[in-house]
């Protein structure tokens, strides 16, 4: 009987030790889960920042393209204005030469 009591005591001790081990393992798992959640949040935050930066890069590129198109448009407009001014200048020069010739012929 004493032997059975000793076995029972050993089993109870083993059970308590296993329960303590289980609690330690559960605690470690909870800590690892908490760390994993933090890492997932950080990863998601970094992905969000990366997506935002990519979006800004794309929209910045589009803004640059629009600005370049605007500059090209202005250059074309200035080119047209310069052509008109040259034509007008040539026309005025021709008119002046004609007048000078007429005045020279009158004298």
Give residue 66's Cα distance to chain centre.
18
Phi-psi category of residue 47: left, alpha or beta, with phi > 0 → left and psi -120 to 50 → alpha:
alpha
Q: Specify the pLDDT at position 64.
A: 80
Q: Specify the pLDDT at position 15.
A: 92
Task: Please calculate the CA angle 84-85-88 and round it to the nearest 5 degrees.
Answer: 85
**Two tokens, residue 89:** 């200048």
Q: Specify the pLDDT at position 100.
A: 85
Determine the Cα–Cα distance for residues 31 and 37; give it in Å rounded to an integer: 10
**Two tokens, residue 17:** 């030790």
Tokens 């074309």 belong to residue: 76
Q: Specify the pLDDT at position 62.
A: 81
Q: Does the reported pTM lie above 0.85?
A: no
DSSP-based three-state secondary structure for 60: helix
Extents of the domains making up the chain: 1-78
pLDDT tens readout for residues 58-93? 777 788 888 899 999 999 999 999 999 999 999 999
């Amino acid at each position: 009987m004493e032997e059975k009591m000793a076995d029972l005591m050993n089993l109870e001790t083993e059970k308590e030790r296993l329960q303590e081990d289980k609690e330690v393992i559960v605690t470690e798992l909870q800590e690892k889960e908490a760390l994993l959640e933090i890492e997932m949040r950080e990863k998601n935050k970094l992905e969000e920042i990366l997506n935002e930066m990519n979006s800004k890069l794309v929209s910045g590129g589009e803004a640059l393209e629009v600005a370049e198109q605007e500059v090209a448009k202005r250059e074309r407009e200035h080119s047209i204005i310069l052509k008109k001014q040259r034509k007008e200048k040539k026309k005025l020069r021709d008119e002046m030469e004609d007048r000078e010739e007429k005045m020279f012929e009158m004298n």
